[in-house]
Amino acid sequence: MPKFLFLSFQNIPPFLFQPLKKVIPQLQRNTFGCSSTPLIKPRNIKESSFYNTIKLANLNHKTFNSKMSQPKTDAIRTSREADRLLLGNSYKQAVVLYSRAIKSGLFSSSDLSSKYYRLGSCLYCQQKYEEALKRYKHAAKLNPSLHNSYNGIGSCLSNIGRFDEAIDYFKIATKSSAYYALAYINWALALYLQGKEEEALKTFGKIKGCRFDSHKKDAVLEVYKDEVTFANERMANSTNQDELKLAQERLRGVEYIKELIKKF
């Protein structure tokens, strides 16, 4: 599946995707009301997400508290179904359900920010960059510490040719997470697309301090493989000359960055 392109890879657990009851979870703060939430690793690197884990309810715990109101229970179920659809590449359906869960108004700001982030990822994977940009910005506003949102904002801006603005957000993402290699790489891409190859190489070199092991390397290469697909689809479907040129230049830049990653 195309990845959730904006997640950092340092915390992806080594176990492969299995039904949730069989997963040995890496526990994090529960966003659904149960005591813990696992990071889910998809079945293979290609299915791991822009790139590429997602917090799902741990079915080994009682997700739906008996004291929880019916509207809250329904909202949680809707959100969880949207997560399932997102992992299954059903982006249009996932957009509908995430939007419904958000409109319920029953989630905390922190939980709501993650839903806006995932909604943005669904739209990004459909190449609806302007719409995705709005959702990522909303996610960042609700939870300023969600560094993935800043990378998402930067990637959307980069895709529509607003490179200086994109770089500003990639910088924020790297400050939020010192080991966020993907943000440095996207930053380098934006510089290259501006014709600043020397600066791009210097920025790319910063991934040396990001614990950029073979697992991260493979995951980022899959992210950029998806970007190649997106650029080719835009070229095939575009009737606007400016957009066509932008897609062609982006494809060239993505291929350049891919080669740098392979040689690293």
Q: Which CATH number fits domain 20-263: 1.10.20.140, 1.25.40.10, 3.10.310.10, 3.40.50.720?
A: 1.25.40.10
Residue pair 152/113 in contact (Cβ under 8 Å)? The answer is: no
Residue pair 10/216 in contact (Cβ under 8 Å)? The answer is: yes
Candidates 160, 164, 228; CA nearest to 196 is: 164
Residue 201: Cβ within 10 Å count: 13
Local mean pLDDT, 10-residue blocks, the chain (264 residues): 45 36 33 32 42 43 56 90 93 95 91 95 94 97 93 97 97 86 97 97 94 92 93 90 93 96 93
Residue 71: exposed, middle, or buried by beta-carbon count in 10 A (0-12, 13-18, 19+)?
Answer: exposed
User: At 189, which amino acid appears?
Assistant: L
Q: Which residue has the tokens 């991934």?
A: 207
Domain boundaries, the chain: 20-263
Model pLDDT for residues 43-96, shown as the tens digit of each residue: 444 444 434 444 444 443 344 444 567 888 899 999 999 999 999 989 999 999
Residue pair 53/40 in contact (Cβ under 8 Å)? The answer is: yes
Element housing 55 (H / E): strand 54-55
Residue 177 has what pLDDT?
Answer: 80
- d(C-alpha 193, C-alpha 133), whole Å: 20
- Could you tell me the pTM of the whole model? 0.76
